[in-house]
Structure 1
Amino acid sequence: MKYASLLSALGAVLLATSSLMADTVSALGRVLPQSGIVDLYGPATDTVQAINVAEGDWVQPGQPLVRLSSTDGAVNRLKQAELDLGSMRVSTAKDIEIARARLATVATETKFAQGRFERIHAAKDSEFVSPDQIEDSTLGKQSAELKLAQTTQDLERAITDAGKLVRAADAEVAAAKAQLAASQVCSPIKARILKIRARVGAQSGGRNELFKIGDTAGMIVVAEVYESEILKVKPGQKAVISSPALPNKMTGTVTAVSGIVFRNTIESMDPNTSTQGRVVEATIRMDEIEPLDRLVFLQVDVTITL
């Protein structure tokens, strides 16, 4: 009787365990920053002169992380280009101002000549107006109008030339900025410096990145789920991760499931488990950041509740 009861209890436990296992999916995963890992490389022809950051530092978008051999020259070129642009704007503005003032003077002279011409021609039949006065007023009017037209063209030419000169100076500033950008290695995002491979005096280019950075303000686990089980996994499902490196199990939520099947890149440490398989990535956003932000790339066991 006791033996039968024991078998019945054991069967119930096995059934419950089987049911529990059927309601979960297990996988291996890797801890990553929410931005993923961003590798930063430098120009192939430069040399590292100084490193501006340390591992663990937080950096802002656009912040230079290193000074290269070409940086000083690019900075000097940009400063000179900006000075030249400022001088050119002042100089061309002054030229235009002079041309406008000259045009205003000539316009006044022309108005006077036209008025004299009109007065004399209005009284040309008078005995007090000589033919010489009529001819002189006509020539004066024509000369003034020609001078006005030429002065107007001079102003238009000054404006056109000023635009060309300023645009050329603007183009030099843009080229200098592009050279400076190419001579710097800047952070594209707000992130933490995870690894520095740059070395002072070494070439900045090559196969190896200078920096590894990532936004550890939020942490994710990318789980590699076997293709045979991936259709069971959906966004919104809860997940638990564990590892000998973690003091406790940690929880998260599935936020995305990839649509690409590929060969697994994470291998189990269990010698009795197959090391190769076809998997699909599922991204899990973790509820807590610490201590995962200090354990980037940590391999973890993942259990997703269906």
Structure 2
Amino acid sequence: MGDKPLLKPPGKWIVGGAILVALTTAAVGIARVAQLQPGEEASAEGQQASETGGRLVTALGRVEPEGEIIKIGAPAGERILRMLVQDGQEVKQGQAIAYLESYPEQLAERDLAKSQLQEAKALLASEQQLGQVQVQEAQTRQAQVSQPKAEQMRAQAATVERLKAELTLAQKDYQRFQYLQERGAISAKELDDRALALRSRQEELNNAAATFAQLRQQLQTDFANATTQVDMARAGTIKSQVQTQVASRIRELEVANARLARTIIAAPQNGQILKVLLREGEAVPLGGSQGGSDGDPTIVEMGNTSRMVVVAEVYETDIRHVKVGQSAMVTSPAFDGELYGVVKQVGLRIGKNDVLDTDPAANTDSRVIEVKIGLANGSPVAQLTNLQVDVVIRPQG
């Protein structure tokens, strides 16, 4: 009985040791899941099975701005005259990033074309003002032509009406004298006098009517000529050689502006300068190590770092377990804690892995599919583009 208490301490140590071993084994198992290689998939699948039948998918990934890294290029052979940005600088869409060596020359040509256009416009304005004066002069001549003739026509029309009235009276006198002569009340000579007066009034009326017709025809002719002169003066102000010259100068200025624009490298969108690849005075290479294509190599890399994403390289054998909408966890020694996000896009093309594991025994020639993960909070990695991270994609449900 007295010996029993001596047996209790060894039992407690045995139980405590067993618990410690169990916890250590569990921790090693969890760490092992996060470092699986493609060849270990079959043995680990049972360990990763969830209650909904899905499984965890682990992958290496890289951090990049949403919309990917934008490589801004320039014409091959050009030199950088001025680099206006530096690494980490925020830029707005359309903001100038760099001026090429040909910028001053193209700027001078643009300014020359602009001044020539201004001169042509000033000459055109002067010519149009002169044309307006000519139009007014033609309109004045038109009025001067029509007004006197119109007055003459009104006077002649009054004469015609007066002679018509006199002819009517002469006809009545002749008829009355003819009646009296038939009854012997007057002599034949008196009747002849009335007949002569009647013929005289008729001739006067005919002449007056003819004069009126001539005046009307002359007025129409003169007015038509004056109208033609007005129209010609107006046409001269609408289209002239100077106006054609202005149109040509406008086209020349458009060409000069286009050439000048090609010497200004501008930001295609809002974002942050990630890396300046060329400095002032350096020539733009014919493609090469800086990532540009022949004829348009990259001089600056930029991206929209206000929203960061992770591009996970998932093994082709695991991609069937990845769906849009699944949650993901991202870790790296470069930041504290974990970042969380959601699978936004699953790639459609299988390629070689770009993110290399630091483990020398890792497979460096794996076939992977890129999976894009949108981060709920990308600020911890906003300045860490291309950072290698570890990704765990959780099963749905």
- Equivalent in 120, 127, 131 of residue 152 of structure 2: 120
1:74 matched to 2:106? The reply is: yes
Match of 1:153 in 2: 232
Q: Which digits, 9 at most, give the CA deviation of each residue in 1:260-305, with x for residues without a partner?
A: 2223222322233322222221111112223312211111111111
Deviation at 1:97, TM superposition (A): 3.4
| Mapped partners of 1:239, 1:110: distance in 2 | 89
Match of 2:324 in 1: 235
Q: Contact 1:261–1:280 (CA<8 Å) still a contact in 2?
A: yes
RMSD: 3.4
- Equivalent in 242, 248, 258 of residue 178 of structure 1: 258
Amino acid at match of 1:197: L
| Mapped partners of 2:347, 2:280: distance in 1 | 40
Q: Which digits, 9 at most, give the CA deviation of each residue in 1:56-80, with x for residues without a partner?
A: 1111112121222211122222223
- Equivalent in 30, 35, 48 of residue 18 of structure 1: 48
Q: Which digits, 9 at most, give the CA deviation of each residue in 1:117-163, with x for residues without a partner?
A: 3333451877898x999979966764553343244234224323365
| Mapped partners of 2:214, 2:123: distance in 1 | 42
| Mapped partners of 1:206, 1:132: distance in 2 | 92
| Mapped partners of 1:71, 1:240: distance in 2 | 48
Q: Contact 1:51–1:66 (CA<8 Å) still a contact in 2?
A: yes
| Mapped partners of 2:47, 2:321: distance in 1 | 19
Amino acid at match of 2:72: L
Query: Which protein has the bigger helix share?
Result: 2
TM-score under structure 1 normalisation? 0.83
Q: Which digits, 9 at most, give the CA deviation of each residue in 1:27-64, with x for residues without a partner?
A: 11111011311112222242222211111111111212
SS of the equivalent of 1:65 reads: strand
| Mapped partners of 2:245, 2:211: distance in 1 | 48
Q: Which segment drifts farther, 292-301 or 226-235? A: 226-235
| Mapped partners of 1:86, 1:298: distance in 2 | 55
SS of the equivalent of 1:35 reads: strand
Match of 1:35 in 2: 67
Amino acid at match of 2:111: K
SS of the equivalent of 1:34 reads: strand
Q: Contact 2:63–2:389 (CA<8 Å) still a contact in 1?
A: yes
Amino acid at match of 2:234: L
Match of 2:387 in 1: 298
- Equivalent in 169, 175, 183 of residue 249 of structure 2: 169
Q: Which segment drifts farther, 264-273 or 233-242? A: 264-273
Give me the identity figure in percent. 25
Cα distance, 1:210–1:88 mapped onto 2, change above 3 Å = same
Q: Which segment drifts farther, 201-210 or 113-122? A: 113-122
1:206 matched to 2:282? The reply is: no
Q: Which segment drifts farther, 218-227 or 45-54? A: 45-54
Match of 2:141 in 1: 109
Amino acid at match of 2:97: L
| Mapped partners of 1:133, 1:88: distance in 2 | 52
Cα distance, 1:136–1:22 mapped onto 2, change above 3 Å = closer
Cα distance, 1:168–1:249 mapped onto 2, change above 3 Å = same
Match of 2:94 in 1: 62
Q: Contact 1:45–1:205 (CA<8 Å) still a contact in 2?
A: yes
Q: Which digits, 9 at most, give the CA deviation of each residue in 1:169-214, with x for residues without a partner?
A: 2212211111111112111111211111212222134314211111
Question: Which of these two proteins has the greater Rg computed from alpha carbons?
Answer: 2
Deviation at 1:239, TM superposition (A): 0.8
TM-score under structure 2 normalisation? 0.66
Structure 1: stretches of 5+ with no match in the other structure: none
| Mapped partners of 1:183, 1:275: distance in 2 | 42
Q: Contact 2:310–2:372 (CA<8 Å) still a contact in 1?
A: yes
SS of the equivalent of 2:333 reads: coil
Match of 2:129 in 1: 97
SS of the equivalent of 2:393 reads: strand
Amino acid at match of 1:260: R
Q: Which digits, 9 at most, give the CA deviation of each residue in 1:211-245, with x for residues without a partner?
A: 11111111111111122222332222111111222
Q: Which segment drifts farther, 226-235 or 176-185? A: 226-235
Deviation at 1:83, TM superposition (A): 3.1
Q: Contact 1:116–1:137 (CA<8 Å) still a contact in 2?
A: no
Query: How many residues matched?
Result: 301
SS of the equivalent of 1:201 reads: coil
Q: Contact 1:267–1:276 (CA<8 Å) still a contact in 2?
A: no
